[in-house]
Structure 1
């Protein structure tokens, strides 16, 4: 299974489960995989993956 890249930058670890947008400005959004949705809490696995991706991106920029 291949990953789908939706963002140029890694989403906030607490961003929406479906689209990665921050809760404070999410409202009602649309993504093809979920359709129209409101902000939903990300899974622990999503949070961990997002934190690891952000750390990896920072490490790449520093070197």
Structure 2
């Protein structure tokens, strides 16, 4: 199964497991892969991947 990229930038590491939206902005959301859902805690693997992606994006912006 290939990864689906939904965001231009990596979501907050603590964003929803399914859509990446912050808990305090979430409510009920819909994504094709999960359907309608409430906020759900991301996995540790998702958190780590999001933190690494955000760090890499910051590094790329600083490099001319």
TM-score bracket for this pair, using the shorter chain length: over 0.9
Cα-Cα RMSD = 0.7
Establish whether residue 12 from structure 1 lines up as the match of residue 12 from structure 2: yes
Gaps of 5+ in 1: none
> Offset at 1:8?
1.1
Give the unaligned 5+ runs of structure 2.
none
Query: Secondary structure of 2:45's match?
Result: helix
- Aligned structure 1 segments of 4 or more residues deviating by more than 6 angstroms: none
Structure 2 counterpart of 1:61: 61
Distance 1:20 1:50 in 2: 10
TM-score by length of 2: 0.95
Q: TM-score, normalised by structure 1?
A: 0.96
